[in-house]
Amino acid sequence: MFPIPTACFSLLIGLAPLSPAAPPPERHENPSHRVAATRVERENVLLIVIDTLRPDHMGCYGYDRQTTPNIDRLAARSLVFDNAYASSSWTRTSVASLLTGLDPYRHGVFSEGGEESILYPSAVSLAEVLRENGYRTAGISGNPHVSRESGFDQGFDSFLSIGKWPQENNTREVAEAALRSLRGLDPAQGNFLYIHFLDPHDPWVSPEDCGSFLAGLSVRQPAVLAGNAYVLSGEFEIEQELSSGRLPRARELSAEELDYLRGLYDCEISLVDREIGRIMKYLEQARWSERTIVILCSDHGEEFGEHGMLRHGYQLFGETVRVPLVLYLPGRDVAGRRSEAVELVDVAPTVLSLVGLSGETEGLDGVVLPGVRTPQAARREAPTAFGVTRFRKRNHAYVVSGTMKLIWDFQAGAGKLYDLGADPREREPREPVESPWGRKLLPRLERWMVEGLAAALPRDATAGEMDEETKQLLRALGYVE
């Protein structure tokens, strides 16, 4: 055991919410003061988010099932990041970081209800910056967490929320809305389109035949047959206590039952891939692909019992925070794979730099992704990734540096250290305070948290509240009381 510096005591006993100790950067307080950049030619930007998608269930990441042939073809012409990390293991926190380029402690979106459930106007979004510089902006979301009521519509000329709980496979509906939006836009004007597919979020009940993914499997349990991970995770039994911090206990499942659930999950991935194929085909036929940057990623992954749980949000292991990240850059001789640790928070500054707005990246926490050649292409001192979850009273964070990963539980004042090189599945935890790497990562995690809280953006009391209909939709799946 080594003596913990006084500055690290907050890690061991947990942190209470802090008031900002310093004003946020001027760009967040005065977004209207920007001057539009003069550009000779505008590239379009298409950002596709596939909810709950694990990279290890995709062909371009080595999966042996034919789940993503269309995405694989896109990846073959793109930069593919093998170690991309989400800022959280659930949607609102992660997407807030994706769309703002800010770490969670700065944008403050942590919860399913109340002030910390809303992306406030002080957090300037990628869509806002692009619109203020002449872009047409449109958003389509199949996930009710990413909605107008939660503030994610800011900066969009049009924003369509399609998502409903319980989930009814709205993949086709989202794709049709995206195609209608594309047909109504001029590819030569400069457009930003955000598409958020809800599938393969549970429950996994595809309207298509999933026989090829379930061949040889025989199960009887109704919740397994229905792909109802909410029931199987144990969350249904404690639905009224979810906001209390009580941890669900997943039902015992056989190996065959878990394989059946994975088969349903893969089937839904293939359904999303099919619709993305339709969108990519339209881009090629309508000559969009020649001038459209495409970013494809997920907001988080999914658990299938690897660490004792199903679904996502509660934990920060690789199955929920490692995500796919594919970047297609038209007209550039840039393709291949990158192994550095990168983050979804890097997407916004990368896009802004690619379209000639490097000056707008000042004050962001993300940096330009490696392999992208732009005027603002500096990386961090060392490739690192950070994330946090406060999902249903959790208060955990993680940091990755090189092959080492620290997960810290603020409530317990303890954590675990993993060597991802020797132990990629995070099955052999070490005590961080007994390791040189732990002693290095503990203060790094604390510094990230404290600096983020000190520069946290102000809340705006005039921001919209979640309406009753949205609450009922989320309540149906246990996301709110």
On whether the CB atoms of residues 110 and 136 are closer than 8 A, the answer is no
Which pLDDT score, from 0 to 100, does residue 34 have?
40
3-state secondary structure at position 133? coil
How many CA within 13 A on the CB side of residue 128? Answer: 23
pLDDT value for 203: 93
Positions of the chain with pLDDT lower than 50, given as ranges: 1-40, 461-467, 469-481
Q: Left, alpha or beta for 192 (phi > 0: left; psi -120 to 50: alpha)?
A: beta
Residues 355, 356, 362, CA angle at the centre, nearest 5°?
A: 110
- pLDDT for 21 equals 34
State the pLDDT at residue 6.
37
What element of type H or E holds 284? helix 255-285
- 305 contact partners, CB below 8 Å, separation of at least 6: 250, 253, 258
pTM of the full structure? 0.88
- For tokens 């658990």, the residue is 303
Superfamily of domain 43-475: Alkaline Phosphatase, subunit A (3.40.720.10)
Question: What pLDDT sits at residue 473?
Answer: 44
CA dist list (Å): 51 to 150, 231, 284: 17, 20, 25
Identify residue 189 by its one-letter amino acid code.
Q
pLDDT of the residue at 3: 37
How confident is the model at residue 196, as a pLDDT?
A: 98
Look at residues 480, 385, 476 and name the one whose alpha carbon lies nearest to residue 165.
Answer: 476
Assigned token pair, 340: 């550095």
